[in-house]
């Protein structure tokens, strides 16, 4: 009986950690997409040059 209780407790902890991880993953994906696409295609030379070398190193064209 204690095995099923500990199993339920560990399953509950796993779902809580996944739920807490979701906003972090989504925010990281949004920031990463902004850096790759938003800054890389920006018209400002300062923003564009800041991301230029890293975009080409990762294989993303920017012009």
DSSP string, 3-58: HHHHHHHHHHHHHHHHHHHHHHHHHHHHHHHIIIIIITT-S-HHHHHHHHHHHHHT
pTM for the full predicted model: 0.46
Identify the DSSP state of 2: H
* pLDDT tens-digit series, residues 8-47: 555 556 566 878 899 999 999 999 888 778 776 777 777 7
Are 50 and 39 within 8 A, CB to CB? yes
Residue with tokens 């400002």: 44
């Amino acid at each position: 009986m204690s095995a099923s209780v500990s199993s339920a407790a560990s399953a509950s902890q796993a779902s809580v950690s996944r739920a807490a991880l979701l906003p972090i993953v989504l925010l990281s994906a949004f920031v990463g997409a902004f850096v790759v696409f938003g800054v890389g295609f920006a018209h400002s030379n300062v923003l564009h040059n800041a991301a230029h070398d890293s975009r080409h190193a990762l294989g993303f064209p920017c012009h």
